Amino acid sequence: MARYRLEFKGVSKHFPPMRRSDGEGVLAIDGVDVAIEEGEVVALIGPSGCGKSTLLNLASGLDRPSRGNVFVDGEEVDGPNEHVAFMLQKDLLLPWRTIRKNVEFGQEIRGLDAAERRKRSEHFLAKYHLSDFANRYPHELSGGMRQRAALARTMVMYPDVLLLDEPFSALDAQTKMVLQQDLARTLFEEKKTALLITHDLVEALAMSDRVLVMSRRPGKIIREIVVDAENRQDPMSRRQHPKIGPYIAELMSLLDIGHAEELV
């Protein structure tokens, strides 16, 4: 029987008004049901403001649903969970710490001893080609290398579930594809479970097992596309798969790409 690493059951989120003049507030998502199996990567796309990031915040325990429940490994999420890691489009590296010390930061908070922190950090610095820059500071690195460091900082915690909020959207196209390759290989080899938010339709199809499409606010899941193409661990190769083109056309139709402002 499939084991669900991450599950949303009938989840809705209402944000109350900031001021009386704001009316009844905002219903961001409404009745979302999603189940993600162990080792599965699911991409989430939809118009701006449809509640994609809200779902990640609920999964991470940074916020609570107004209705419904969120589960990680069958346990209801009621706060931050050490088995869940969040990676954002901004690297958020601490400028006064070296790259090694940034990678070790989360481990320090968890109380791991110095020897274990060093062992883990060296492994992931090497994995993401940062060993030669371990003692540099963030301002000395390119944007792509900083995001590699953010990826190392995320993976060094050995999370079971990764929440990825447009992690490569700020990068140039070439660097973005290289980092997609690194992340996809890691997710595949280590059988990690991930929920990826992206506005890049090719990225969604190249990196995931399924793509979930959300409606305009209040966000609901309106379509699921199972990506029937091999080589999820190799996005560069999968981009060339003959089925990717038709999938993109279907997604463009669902999202009404002709009205470009809907995806901004």
Nearest to 194 by CA among 154, 145, 144: 154
Distance CA 222, CA 186 (A): 30
Q: Which domains does the chain have, with CATH numbers?
A: 4-83+159-263 (3.40.50.300)
Distance CA 93, CA 163 (A): 18
Burial environment of residue 154 by CB neighbours within 10 A (0 to 12, 13 to 18, 19 or more): buried
**Which residue's entry shows tokens 């990825």?**
164
Burial 205-242 (b: 16+ CB within 10 A, else e): bbbbbbbbbbbbbbbbbeeebebebeebeebeebbebe
pLDDT digits (tens, 9 = 90+) for 127-177: 888 999 999 999 999 988 998 899 999 988 888 999 999 988 878 888 888
> What are the residues facing 67 on neighbouring strands?
12
Instruction: Give Cβ neighbours of residue 246 (< 8 Å, ≥ 6 apart).
Output: none
Q: Which of 17-21, 71-75, 103-107, 201-205 is predicted least confidently? A: 17-21
Strand order in the sheet with 84-87: 84-87, 161-165, 193-197, 41-45, 210-214, 221-226
Question: How many alpha carbons lie under 13 Å from residue 39 in its C-beta half-sphere?
Answer: 8
**Helices (runs of H) and strands (runs of E) counted in the chain:** 8, 10
Question: Tell me, what's the pLDDT at 22?
Answer: 63
pLDDT digits (tens, 9 = 90+) for 193-238: 999 999 999 999 999 999 999 999 899 999 999 999 888 899 999 9
Distance CA 263, CA 147 (A): 24
Q: Quick one: how far is CA 232 from the chain centroid?
A: 16
Alpha helix (H) residue ranges in 172-257 = 173-189, 201-207, 235-238, 244-255
Question: Tell me, what's the pLDDT at 258?
Answer: 44
The share of the chain scoring above pLDDT 90, in percent, equals: 55
pLDDT tier, 259 (very low <50, low <70, confident <90, very high otherwise)? very low
pLDDT tier, 34 (very low <50, low <70, confident <90, very high otherwise)? very high
Question: Tell me, what's the pLDDT at 21?
Answer: 65
